[in-house]
Amino acid sequence: MNVKNTVPRLQKGDLVGVVALSSVVNHEKLGDALSFLDELGLHYIVGDTIHATHDYLAGSDEVRLADFHEMVKNPEVKAIFCVKGGYGSARIAEKIDYTLLEENPKIFWGFSDITYLHCAINEYANLVTFHGPMLMAANKMDELSKKMFVQLFSPIEIQYTESISPLTTIAGGVARGELIGGNLYRLVSTLGTKFEIQTEGKILLIEELAESIPNIDSMLQQLKQARKIEQLAGVVIGSFTQTEANETALHNLMKEYFGDLGIPVVAGFKIGHESTNVGIPLGVDAYLDAEEKVLKILPGVY
C-alpha cells in the first residue's frame, strides 16, 4: 500500500481557511459555519470564493483556483475547510499545484462534490484528506458529527459499530486496506481522467443523495465495466438518502454488484448526506470486519 503523508494536527487558536470550491454560497448560512469554527476554538480567514459568483459557481475557475492556492501558500493557515458542495471542484482539479500542497501539507475537509478533489489530492499530493460534513450544515449536525472534528486536534481511534447505527452485512469477510472514496456520482466522473479512482486492494466508501435505484445501478455498472469493482478489498456503504426506494431494494442492488467478490461489504454507515455524517480520514489504513460489523481506523495512521 502506498502510505499517504499525514498532515499536522490543529491546536486551539490556529488559523484556518474557509473556501467554496464548488457552487455559490448562501450567505445567510455562513454564520453557522463561522460560529462552529468559533466553538472549535479556531480563528479563520474567509476566502474570496465565499462572496464570489460566476453563474452557478462560487466564482470563476480562476478565482476558485487562486483562492485554494492562496490558502495552501499561507503558512499561517493550518486547515482548509470547504463550506459548500454542489458542483465545480472537478473544473479546477487539473490546474491545482499538487506539489505546492505536498510541500505545504495541511488539513483538507469536505465531502460530496469535494470527492473529486479527495481523489486528486490523495493521488497527486499523496496526502491524507478528510471526508466530513460541510460547515454550512453546522446547525444541522448532530453531536456525534461535531465530535468527529476532535480527530483534527488529537489522535483518536475511530471505531464505527452498531452502537452508532444499525449495520447490514451484504457480504462476509475481513479486510485491511487503504480507505478511499466518497460520493458515488463524483467517483464515476473521475473515470477516464488523470484523476481516475484507483481501487486495487482498497476499501471503497460510497454514498449518494437523491439518486434513483436505476441511476445508482448505472453508476455501479460503469465502475464494474471500468474494472474498478473486481479490484476492491472491501466496501463501506454509507448514506444513500432520498433514493426513492426502500432499503431492501438498495441492499439487493449492492449484493448484485459486490456479493460474489469474496470481500467484506457492510451497509448502513451514517457517512454522507444526513444530519449524522461521521467524519473520517481518506488515504489511511482501515480495517473492515463484516462478521462483527465494524470499521476501524487506528490512531497514528493519519
* Residues with active-site annotation: 112, 207, 273
Angle, CA 296 vertex, CA 89 and CA 197 arms, to 5°: 30
CB 179 within 8 A of CB 281: yes
CB 37 within 8 A of CB 135: yes
For residues 181 and 84, give the distance between their C-alpha atoms in angstroms, rounded to a whole number.
18
For residues 253 and 170, give the distance between their C-alpha atoms in angstroms, rounded to a whole number.
10
Q: Coil, helix or strand for 14?
A: coil
Q: Coil, helix or strand for 74?
A: coil
Of the candidates 148, 134, 13, the one whose C-alpha atom is nearest the C-alpha of residue 83 is 134
In sequence order, which ranges of the chain are alpha helices (DSSP H)? 30-39, 61-73, 90-93, 98-103, 115-124, 143-147, 184-189, 213-225, 247-258
Q: In what order do the strands lie in the sheet with 265-267?
A: 158-160, 294-297, 284-289, 174-183, 203-209, 234-241, 265-267, 168-171
For residues 15 and 4, give the distance between their C-alpha atoms in angstroms, rounded to a whole number.
24
Matching residue, cell 481557511 = 17
Contacts of 259 (CB under 8 A, 6+ apart): 170, 171, 265
